[in-house]
């Protein structure tokens, strides 16, 4: 029986089992995003001091659940779908051991539910970081452990699928760049999950009384081997999707396979060192350790991101110029499909990730500058620029791309999808910029009351800090509306979108029978050929001058902002 189908619109091949796995992982991820988004409303409406909605205990519970559902469950479930897509679909091969992949998926699902039950029972409001010796209930840790084991299994199925593709010779030459990026993400995931296991298993044993003591500093160092690295999986995954979208929408080819792959290799080698960012103002950590690790050896992973920052939009520019959009520096960009949510999401993602997420991350990860930023609301501002406008927006883009291709449904109410990236990206950017400002004024993160009600001694923030938090919260509400629009668009398309191919039924479509049998009529996909050779002579000069200008603008912003922060640091109490 034929196990494959080919999508008539995109030419992508889907293996039946892999397709079901992509669907369930993506859909459960989106459910986690829905939960996280609803909880976000509680967070912003409480931190907006004039509204100050939730009581303290509920606030901390909601904040814990928001962090875990957004940063762990949404993103990692969705990443599993991306991995199966980048292996089985892109390499046109069957998925290795779908049974194990399902086992992994169910373990993740059970773990995610168990952890949420622990948090919503109110006895595990320990924040995502669950720093010891503050203790959560045992099933808080156990849920995370099961989730991690499940994720690890799915990652190994991904590696297995690569082997299948190679053995069965389903492609010529080397794996595509997007798959290469996905391999990067998967390798980082293995490191991440190993770090998580090393610290969460003893912590679980401690919570049930089998281990008497967990050193708080050791916990921090190892936990961040998971906590930070898990966000590095995102970077590798969303950069891969940027390349995918550039290829699908513009027919862009990587400016240089060698450069882009080298940049991914730098991620594998250096990105995880950034776990040190969280340890810079801890007791007793040596200066050399901090400088080496916080700078990814010598900012080599930053170098990699700066390379992608040029080559992704650069490849779009080159493709656009070939199509004749050659006027001036930016005609290629003005004539880009701004009404297509796949493009607008990715472009907003590239700009906010680079200009805001990247620059603030490097600044606050500088050994000494961290003194004026650690644990202020600047920190969540930074990672909302990387993980929300960076990763989440990119995952939204790929969802828009996959609804017709993978789910074979037309987008429901396309006008919503069209403006959604602007509402979500715009609202989130407002939130981020004003939280950065408030953080610079010393406003604390993870803090219920900036009035310090009930404290024996008073402290007052300057009025401008309140204004910034309020404007940021308005941006946050706007972003939540944008998130809601995404859910209407994506879930609405699955439920009400026009069918492009006969479905096997809404329930069956998630469990091993994605579409009606008639759709599967390919026994063996054609071997994936190497990309065609470029017909024209390669460009000798600057092939993407507009992108180069944007890159220089990024560099100037970076340099100026970096030194402003050193100047600010120089104004505080001398210490040594």
Partner 1 sequence: MTSFMPPADKHWWKVPVGRQELIWIAIALVWCIIMFLMMPLWHVYGKQNLSTEAYQTTPAKFGAKVEEMVEKYKVGTESGMPIVAPPVGSDVYMLGRLWQWYPILKLKKNQEYRLHLSSMDWQHGWSLQPDNINLQIVPGYDMVLKITPDKSGEYSVICNEYCGIGHHTMVGKIYVED
Q: 321 to 350, contacts with partner 1 by CB under 8 A?
A: none
Q: Which is nearer to partner 1, 506 or 537 (CB)?
A: 537
Instruction: State in angstroms the smallest separation of the CB of 485 from partner 1.
Output: 28
Decide: is 97 part of the binding site for partner 1 (CB under 8 A).
no
Decide: is 313 part of the binding site for partner 1 (CB under 8 A).
no
Q: 206 vs 35, 115, 218, 511, CA distance in Å?
A: 29, 17, 14, 38
Q: 199 vs 151, 222, 302, 324, CA distance in Å?
A: 17, 6, 27, 55
Q: Which member of 51, 265, 534, 560 binds partner 1 (CB under 8 A)?
A: 534
Residue 376 is encoded by which pair of tokens? 């202020």
Q: Which member of 40, 90, 157, 273 binds partner 1 (CB under 8 A)?
A: 90
The window from 149-157, 309-317, 327-335, 350-358 that contacts partner 1 (CB under 8 A) reads 309-317
Range 536-575, binding partner 1 (CB under 8 A): 538-545, 548, 551, 555, 558-559, 562, 566, 569-570, 572-575
Decide: is 376 part of the binding site for partner 1 (CB under 8 A).
yes
Q: Which is nearer to partner 1, 106 or 299 (CB)?
A: 299
Decide: is 56 part of the binding site for partner 1 (CB under 8 A).
yes
The window from 344-352, 421-429, 441-449, 488-496 that contacts partner 1 (CB under 8 A) reads 441-449
Q: Which is nearer to partner 1, 14 or 60 (CB)?
A: 60
Compute CA 378 distance to the chain's CA centroid, rounded to the nearest angstrom.
19
Range 460-479, binding partner 1 (CB under 8 A): 461-462
Residue 492 is encoded by which pair of tokens? 């609405």
Q: Would you call the peptide bond into 133 cis, given omega within 30 degrees of 0 as the criterion?
A: yes
Range 153-182, binding partner 1 (CB under 8 A): 171-179
Instruction: State in angstroms the smallest separation of the CB of 314 from partner 1.
Output: 7
Q: Which is nearer to partner 1, 252 or 348 (CB)?
A: 252
Instruction: State in angstroms the smallest separation of the CB of 121 from partner 1.
Output: 16
- Pair 54, 62: CB distance under 8 Å: yes
Q: Which member of 120, 205, 422, 447 binds partner 1 (CB under 8 A)?
A: 447
Of all helices (H) and strands (E), which one includes residue 569?
Answer: helix 545-570
Q: Residue 66's closest CA among 36, 86, 34?
A: 36
Quick one: three-class SS letters along 467-529? HHHHHHHHHHHHHHHHHHHHHHHHHHHHHHCCECCCECCCCHHHCCCCECHHHCCECCCCCEC
| Residues that contact partner 1, how many (by CB under 8 A) | 118
Range 491-530, binding partner 1 (CB under 8 A): 528-530
The window from 27-35, 71-79, 185-193, 274-282 that contacts partner 1 (CB under 8 A) reads 274-282
Q: Which is nearer to partner 1, 27 or 319 (CB)?
A: 319
Range 390-429, binding partner 1 (CB under 8 A): none
Q: Report d(CA 356, CA 436) in Å as an integer.
A: 10
Q: Which member of 314, 425, 472, 482 binds partner 1 (CB under 8 A)?
A: 314
| DSSP state string for 193-253 | HHHHHHHHHHHHHHHTTSS----HHHHHHHHHHHHTHHHHHHHHHHHHHHHHHHHHHH---
Decide: is 123 part of the binding site for partner 1 (CB under 8 A).
no
Instruction: State in angstroms the smallest separation of the CB of 498 from partner 1.
Output: 26
Residues 6 or more apart whose CB falls under 8 angstroms from that of 427 comprise: 475, 476, 477, 478, 479, 480, 481, 482
- SS3 state at 167: helix
Instruction: State in angstroms the smallest separation of the CB of 129 from partner 1.
Output: 9
- SS3 state at 376: strand
Give the residues across from 4 on adjacent strands: 15, 522
Decide: is 185 part of the binding site for partner 1 (CB under 8 A).
no
Q: 100 vs 131, 152, 343, 362, CA distance in Å?
A: 33, 11, 35, 39
Instruction: State in angstroms the smallest separation of the CB of 520 from partner 1.
Output: 22
Q: Which is nearer to partner 1, 376 or 489 (CB)?
A: 376
Q: Which member of 50, 99, 209, 458 binds partner 1 (CB under 8 A)?
A: 458
Q: Which is nearer to partner 1, 368 or 410 (CB)?
A: 368
Decide: is 273 part of the binding site for partner 1 (CB under 8 A).
no
Q: Which member of 306, 348, 359, 381 binds partner 1 (CB under 8 A)?
A: 306
Instruction: State in angstroms the smallest separation of the CB of 105 from partner 1.
Output: 24
Residue 103 is encoded by which pair of tokens? 């086992």
Q: Report d(CA 566, CA 223) in Å as an integer.
A: 29
Decide: is 302 part of the binding site for partner 1 (CB under 8 A).
yes
Residue 464 is encoded by which pair of tokens? 């401008």
Binding mask 241-270 for partner 1 (x = CB under 8 A): --xx-xxx--xxxxxxxxx-x---------
């Amino acid at each position: 029986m034929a196990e494959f189908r080919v999508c008539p619109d995109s030419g992508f091949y889907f293996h039946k089992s892999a397709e079901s796995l992509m669907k369930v992982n993506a859909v459960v991820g989106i459910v986690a995003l829905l939960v996280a988004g609803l909880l976000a409303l509680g967070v912003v409406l409480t931190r907006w001091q004039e509204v100050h909605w939730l009581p303290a205990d509920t606030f901390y519970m909601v904040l814990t659940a928001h962090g875990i559902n957004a940063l762990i469950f949404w993103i990692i479930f969705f990443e599993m779908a991306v991995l199966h897509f980048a292996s089985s679909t892109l390499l046109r091969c069957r998925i290795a051991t779908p049974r194990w992949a399902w086992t992994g998926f169910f373990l993740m699902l059970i773990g995610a539910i168990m952890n949420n039950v622990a948090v919503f029972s109110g006895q595990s409001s320990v924040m995502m970081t669950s720093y010891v010796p503050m203790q959560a209930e045992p099933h808080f840790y156990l849920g995370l452990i099961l989730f991690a084991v499940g994720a690890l299994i799915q990652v190994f199925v991904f590696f297995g699928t690569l082997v299948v593709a190679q053995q069965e010779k389903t492609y010529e030459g080397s794996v595509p760049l997007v798959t290469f990026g996905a391999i990067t993400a998967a390798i980082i995931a293995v490191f991440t999950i190993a770090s998580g296991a090393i610290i969460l298993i003893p912590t679980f044993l401690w919570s049930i009384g089998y281990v008497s003591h967990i050193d708080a500093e050791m916990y921090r160092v190892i936990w961040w081997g998971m906590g930070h690295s898990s966000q590095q999986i995102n970077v590798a995954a969303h950069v891969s999707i940027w390349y995918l979208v550039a290829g699908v929408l513009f027919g862009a080819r990587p400016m240089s396979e060698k450069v882009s792959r080298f940049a991914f290799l730098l991620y594998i080698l250096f990105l995880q060192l950034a776990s040190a960012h969280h340890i810079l103002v801890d007791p007793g950590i040596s200066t050399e350790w901090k400088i080496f690790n916080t700078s990814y050896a010598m900012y080599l992973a930053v170098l990699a991101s700066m390379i992608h920052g040029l080559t992704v939009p650069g490849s779009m520019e080159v493709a656009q110029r070939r199509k004749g959009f050659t006027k001036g520096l930016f005609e290629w960009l003005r004539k880009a499909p701004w009404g297509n949510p796949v493009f607008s999401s990715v472009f907003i993602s590239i700009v906010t990730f680079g200009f805001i997420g990247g620059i603030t991350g490097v600044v606050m990860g500088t050994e000494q500058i961290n003194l004026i930023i650690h644990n202020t609301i600047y920190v969540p501002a930074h990672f909302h620029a990387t993980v929300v406008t960076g990763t989440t927006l990119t995952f939204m883009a790929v969802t828009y791309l996959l609804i017709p291709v993978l789910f074979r449904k037309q987008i429901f109410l396309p006008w919503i999808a069209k403006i959604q990236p602007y509402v979500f990206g715009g609202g989130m950017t407002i939130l981020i910029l004003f939280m950065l400002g408030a953080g610079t004024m010393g406003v604390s993160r993870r803090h219920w009351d900036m009035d310090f009600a009930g404290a024996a001694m008073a402290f007052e923030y300057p009025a401008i800090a309140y204004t910034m938090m309020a404007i940021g919260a308005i941006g946050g509400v706007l972003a939540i509306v944008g998130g809601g629009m995404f859910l209407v668009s994506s879930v609405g398309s699955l439920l009400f979108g026009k069918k492009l191919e006969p479905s096997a039924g809404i329930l069956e479509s998630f469990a091993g029978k994605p579409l009606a049998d008639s759709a599967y009529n390919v026994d063996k996909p054609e071997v994936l050929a190497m990309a065609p050779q470029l017909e024209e002579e390669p460009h000798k000069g600057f092939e993407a001058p507009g992108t180069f200008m944007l890159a220089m603008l990024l560099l100037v912003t970076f340099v100026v902002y970096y030194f402003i922060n050193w100047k600010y640091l120089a104004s505080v109490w001398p210490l040594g």
